[in-house]
């Protein structure tokens, strides 16, 4: 079989034997692939520094058969990530991207969309740095691509679109559907009241905006942690795995100003 070529994001590298490694890639057209990289850990390896976590590469590989690993035959760098030059926020967020990519079962239908999402976010973080809004953006799109997120443009109960007069003052924590004022009463099934206007407007903006065009949050809204945890809970339910990289990222993000100094 002739080698295949594809764009890929390096998700993880596992040491194997003395000089080899098993590389897990998220590719644009072939989903997740696991490849044996012969001699990757050697100092003179032609792939050293190219096949590295968070890097975007063009990869040539022979796919595996059944449970057998494929073989990495070539790789060139498209976009490199130097984690030493970024902030702690950048590192934790990139780690979260790759962890979610590892635990999700990515099917061929959504595979290219997930790759494009992670590709855009990696480039955005490296070029402009991490911003709080990017965490919501990433979790929103993962949940949406997996079919686990309600339409953020309209009330999840009455179906009427949100506007300047009809705002989100309730949320269903199960479906993550926003509720309008009329539907956010104490007797509304499965809902809880609160000011979710900022979250609803952000989610609606995500539908038409690239990550590098998103405005920065002036301040972290009160509902930031709660909605983040609801989104991650949906992803954990899908994958059956705990997303461990979220805790250190939120810990850094939600520190009080005096605690950071």
- pLDDT digit string (tens) for 220-245? 778 889 899 999 999 999 899 999 99
In three-state form (DSSP H/G/I as H, E/B as E, the rest C), the secondary structure along the chain is: CCCEEEEEEEEEEEEECCCEEEEEEEECCCCEEEEEECCCCCCCCCCCCCCCCCCEEEEEEECCCCCCCEEEEEEEEEECCCHHHCCHHHHHHHHHHHHHHHHCCCCHHHHHHHHHHHHHHHHHHHHHCCCHHHHHHHHHHHHHHCCCCCCCCECCCCCCECCCCCCEEEECCCCCCEEECCCCCCCCCCCEECCCHHHHHHHHHHCCCCHHHCCCCCCCCCCHHHHHHHHHHHHHHHHCCCCCCHHHHHHHHCCCHHHHC
pTM over 0.85: yes
- pLDDT digit string (tens) for 21-45? 999 999 999 999 999 999 998 878 8
pLDDT winner (highest mean) among 17-26, 169-178, 190-199, 219-228:
17-26
Structure confidence at residue 109 (pLDDT): 77
Residue 59, pLDDT above cutoff 60: yes
| Mean pLDDT of the chain, nearest integer | 89
The interaxial angle of helices 197-206 and 132-145, nearest 10 deg, is: 70
- Dihedral (Cα; 127, 129, 130, 132), 10-degree rounding: -110
């Amino acid at each position: 079989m002739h080698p295949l070529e594809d764009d890929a994001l390096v998700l993880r590298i596992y040491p194997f034997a003395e000089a080899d490694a098993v590389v897990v890639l998220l590719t644009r057209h072939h989903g997740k692939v696991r490849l044996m990289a012969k001699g990757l850990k050697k100092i003179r390896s032609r792939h050293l520094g190219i096949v590295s976590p968070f890097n975007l590469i063009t990869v040539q590989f022979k796919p595996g058969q059944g449970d057998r690993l494929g073989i990495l035959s070539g790789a060139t760098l498209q976009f490199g990530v130097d984690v030493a030059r970024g902030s702690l926020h950048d590192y934790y967020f990139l780690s979260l991207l790759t962890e979610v990519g590892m635990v999700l079962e990515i099917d061929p239908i959504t595979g290219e969309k997930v790759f494009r999402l992670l590709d855009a976010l990696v480039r955005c973080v490296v070029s402009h740095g991490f911003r709080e809004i990017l965490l919501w953006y990433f979790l929103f799109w993962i949940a949406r691509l997996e079919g686990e997120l309600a339409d953020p443009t309209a009330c999840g109960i009455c179906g009427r679109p949100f506007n300047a007069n009809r705002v989100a003052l309730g949320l269903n924590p199960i479906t993550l559907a926003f509720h309008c004022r009329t539907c956010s009463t104490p007797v509304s099934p499965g809902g809880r009241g609160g000011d979710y206007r900022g979250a609803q407007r952000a989610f609606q903006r995500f539908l038409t905006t690239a990550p590098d065009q998103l405005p920065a949050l002036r301040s972290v809204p009160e509902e930031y942690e709660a909605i983040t945890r609801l989104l991650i809970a949906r992803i954990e339910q899908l994958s059956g795995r705990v997303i461990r990289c979220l805790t250190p990222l939120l810990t850094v993000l939600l520190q009080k100003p005096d605690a950071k100094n």
